[in-house]
Amino acid sequence: MSMGVPAKERSGAILTIDLDAVRSNYRLLRARALPAACSAVVKSDAYGLGAAQVASALYQEGCRHFFVAHLEEGISLRPHLALDAAIFVLHGPPVGTEAAFTEHGLIPVLNSVPQVQGWRAHAAMLGRTLDAIVQVDTGMSRMGMAPQEVDQWLADAHFLDGVNVLYVMSHLACADERANPFNALQLARFQAILARLPACRASLANSSGVFLSPSYHFDLVRPGAALYGITPQAGEVNPMRPVVRLQGKIIQSRTIGDGDHVGYSLRYTAQGVCRVATVSVGYADGWLRSMSNQGLAVIDGVKVPQIGAISMDSITLDVSAIAPERVAPGSLVDLICAEHPVDAVAAMAQTIGYEVLTNLGGRYYREYRGLARPA
**Dihedral angle, C-alpha 232, 238, 242, 243, nearest 10 °:** -10
CB 306 within 8 A of CB 281: no
| Distance separating alpha carbons of residues 241 and 229, to the nearest angstrom | 5
Instruction: Name the phi and psi angles at 74, rounded to 5.
Output: -65, -40
Q: Give the pairing of strands 274-279 and 244-256.
A: antiparallel
Q: Which residues pair with residue 298 across a beta bridge? A: 303, 334
| Distance separating alpha carbons of residues 83 and 340, to the nearest angstrom | 39
CB 297 within 8 A of CB 334: yes
Instruction: Give the chain's radius of gyration (CA, Å).
Output: 24
**Which stretch of DSSP H or E encloses residue 172?**
none
Q: Which amino acid is at 310?
A: I
**Among 282, 347, 272, which residue's Cα sits nearest to residue 308?**
282
**Among 12, 11, 29, 13, which residue's Cα sits nearest to residue 21?**
29
| Distance separating alpha carbons of residues 279 and 329, to the nearest angstrom | 9
5-10 CB contacts, 8 Å cutoff, 24+ apart: 7/365, 8/365, 8/367, 10/365
Terminal-residue alpha carbon distance, the chain: 40
Residues marked active site are found at 43, 264
Q: Is residue 6 classed exposed, middle or buried when 0-12, 13-18 and 19+ CB atoms within 10 A define those classes?
A: exposed
| Contacts (Cβ under 8 Å, ≥6 apart) of 30 | 38, 62
